[in-house]
Amino acid sequence: MKIKKGIPLIDQHDRYGFWGGKFGGSFIPETLKKPVEDLTIQFEKLRKDREFLKKKDFYFKNYIGSPTSFIKLENLSAHLGGAQIWAKVVSDANGGAHKIYNATVHALICKAMGKKYIVGDTGAGYAGKMLSMAAKKFGLKCKIFMGAKDIKRQKPNCEAMRKNGAEIIPVYSGSQTLVDAVSECMRYWVSNCDNTHMAVGSTVGPNIFVKICGWSTTQISRELKVQLKNEFIKIPKKIKLINCVGGGSSAYGFWSEFIDYDKKQIELVGVEAGGPKKSKLHAAPLSRNEKIGILHGAASYVCQNNEGQIHETESISAGLDYPGVSPIHCFLKDAKRARYTYATDEDALNAYKMVTKYERLNPSLEPCHAFAEAIKIAPKLSKDTLCIVNSCGDAKKDRDILKKRLGKFR
């Protein structure tokens, strides 16, 4: 598998919507083919429309708060020795996470298509919270599908969604987590697609939703590229871009502008959820070498049993607790452009303790998986190496879990 230079990775699929000939596609019921085609045509038109782009850039700057900060973690770097640890603090964005980029773009598309209702899925509650914010901002009525288990463990984001006027639809089927929320959201859209727009919360699902989300979150790496040049005059020669991977939206957004660079200069490191140390359950289809399966309308590596049924996952992080992954990440893995590993629940909690001890940063449990990898590898690397972590979420939503597991919340 080869990556074409100079072409955004979201556009490197074939005419059937597959990356590398086998990842992605649109495995959808007949009733969804027309709305998906309409959305595809509309998006391709809008992404070239000057007025729409001007509007997007305006809201990214004045509503989301772009650019988010890029900082060196001086104390943590000094404590560990070896490589310098830096953070792209995407949690500075309005709402506290990267999901606001995708939510804002979907709300703008919804308005452009003349629809008044918007629905979405959520796991950690970030995608739902951001979609509810965007819906309120642009005068749209909003429903959020969320697993009953996640509603219990992500109360702060649920409170925020309700304050923004969104209706939360609890999902009691299956594992009652993100995978089931996405399924129910898609079922709802099948019956209501005439007046309702659906926003998938990550770079997963049928081809068009992968593209819209990837196009939106690319803002993160665009900013980082400028910030690196401002800080170092030119892009440094030894960089590791470390990002947590659930569905994969923040990782793609963090990496997209750097994919064309030689991997000896810029290594892309994805960290999945390894689950509890003493459990066989995980949410790491890439690093645990799972087989290809079909999930939520797309082909990707999926946690599954010997009969090909979706396997239950487990992670302390609701945002990473997903059995599939973006087809783009499957392509990057097979093309050997990105390296994927995992961190356990315990690794993520220890990373949270260390980061908050040495720095004025409060990362959620999702990016703590990435910080765990940075903490692990930094001491073994030279001082001129930069380990840059995408701190893509704020830990306020994890306050109950952190109090329970660590006895404290910063």
Task: Please report whether residue 232 resides in a domain.
Answer: yes
Q: 356 with 255, same domain?
A: yes
* Predicted confidence pLDDT, tens digits, the chain (410 residues): 799 999 999 999 999 999 999 999 999 989 899 999 999 999 999 999 999 999 999 999 999 999 999 999 999 999 999 999 999 999 999 999 999 999 999 999 999 999 999 999 998 888 999 999 999 999 999 999 999 999 998 899 999 999 999 999 999 999 899 899 999 999 999 999 999 999 999 999 999 999 999 999 999 999 999 999 999 999 999 999 999 999 999 999 999 999 999 999 999 999 999 999 999 999 999 999 999 999 999 999 999 998 889 988 999 998 899 999 999 999 999 999 999 999 999 999 999 999 999 999 999 999 999 999 999 999 999 999 999 999 999 999 999 899 999 986 66
Distance between CA 303 and CA 288 in Å, rounded? 9
pLDDT value at position 128?
A: 95
Q: 105 with 177, same domain?
A: yes
Task: Please report whether residue 118 resides in a domain.
Answer: yes
Q: 302 with 386, same domain?
A: yes
Residue 137's CB is within 10 A of a number of other CB atoms, namely 16
Structure tokens at 318: 């609701």
Residue that finishes a domain, picked among 214, 246, 279: 214
Task: Please report whether residue 289 resides in a domain.
Answer: yes
Domain range for 335 is: 66-96+219-406
pLDDT value at position 318?
A: 87
Task: Please report whether residue 128 resides in a domain.
Answer: yes
Interstrand relation of 196-199 and 338-343 (parallel, antiparallel or unpaired): unpaired
SS3 state of residue 297: coil
Q: 171 with 310, same domain?
A: no
Q: 205 with 269, same domain?
A: no
CB contact at 8 A, 236 and 208: no
Residue 323's CB is within 10 A of a number of other CB atoms, namely 25
Q: 226 with 289, same domain?
A: yes
CATH value at residue 134: 3.40.50.1100
pLDDT in tens, 53-107: 999 999 999 999 999 999 999 999 999 999 999 999 999 999 999 999 999 999 9
Q: 261 with 175, same domain?
A: no
Adjacent-strand bridge partners of 122: 146
Torsions phi, psi of 268, nearest 5? -100, 120
Q: 195 with 50, same domain?
A: yes
Structure tokens at 73: 């973690």
Task: Please report whether residue 12 resides in a domain.
Answer: no
Interstrand relation of 23-24 and 117-122 (parallel, antiparallel or unpaired): unpaired
Q: 355 with 339, same domain?
A: yes
pLDDT value at position 153?
A: 87
pLDDT value at position 408?
A: 66
Distance between CA 240 and CA 258 in Å, rounded? 11
Q: 129 with 82, same domain?
A: no
What residues have CB less than 8 Å from 15, skipping those under 6 apart?
none
Q: How far is CA 408 from the centre of its chain?
A: 26
SS3 state of residue 30: helix
Task: Please report whether residue 167 resides in a domain.
Answer: yes
Torsions phi, psi of 326, nearest 5? -60, 140
Q: 78 with 163, same domain?
A: no
Task: Please report whether residue 224 resides in a domain.
Answer: yes
Residue that finishes a domain, picked among 195, 214, 233: 214
CB contact at 8 A, 285 and 315: no
Number of domains in the chain: 2
Residue that finishes a domain, picked among 160, 185, 214: 214
Q: 203 with 258, same domain?
A: no
pLDDT value at position 410?
A: 63
> How many CA atoms lie less than 13 Å away from 362 in the CB half-sphere?
12
Task: Please report whether residue 13 resides in a domain.
Answer: no
pLDDT value at position 291?
A: 96
